[in-house]
Amino acid sequence: MEFNIFPPILLFMQVNFTRYGLYLLRWQASTPILAGVGIILISMGQVVSAIVANLIGGLIFFWVDRFIFTSQTLAAQWEVKENIVCTDCRKVSRGYRLVRADNYDRTDHEKPEFRCEECSQKKTKELRERGIKIE
Ligand SMILES: [Zn+2]
pLDDT higher than 90, residue 106: no
**Cα 119 to averaged position of ligand 1 atoms, centre (Å):** 4
Main-chain phi, psi angles of 87, to 5 degrees: -60, -35
- What does the pLDDT look like over 78-100, one tens digit per residue? 888 999 999 999 999 999 999 88
- Other C-beta atoms within 10 Å of 124: how many? 20
Q: How far is the CA of 104 from the centre of ligand 1 (A)?
A: 21
Mapped onto helix, strand or coil, the DSSP state of residue 127 is helix
Starting from the edge strand earliest in sequence, which strands make up the sheet with 92-101, in order? 3-4, 77-85, 92-101, 104-105
Q: Give 93 Cα–ligand 1 centroid separation in angstroms.
A: 8
Residue 95: which of 123, 133, 54 has the closest Cα? Answer: 123
Find the 66 Cα to ligand 1 centroid distance in Å: 37
For the entire predicted model, the pTM comes to 0.51
Cβ proximity of 97 and 113 under 8 Å: yes
Gap from CA of 115 to ligand 1 centroid (Å): 5
Instruction: Yes or no: say if 120 and 7 are a contact pair by the CB < 8 Å rule.
Output: yes
End-to-end CA distance of the chain: give it in Å, rounded.
21
Range 115-130 average pLDDT: 93
Query: pLDDT value at position 71?
Result: 82
**Is pLDDT at 117 greater than 90 in this prediction?**
yes
What's the residue count for the chain? 135
What digits encode the pLDDT tens for the residues 54-76? 899 999 999 999 998 888 777 77
Return d(Cα 97, Cα 37) in angstroms, integer.
Answer: 48
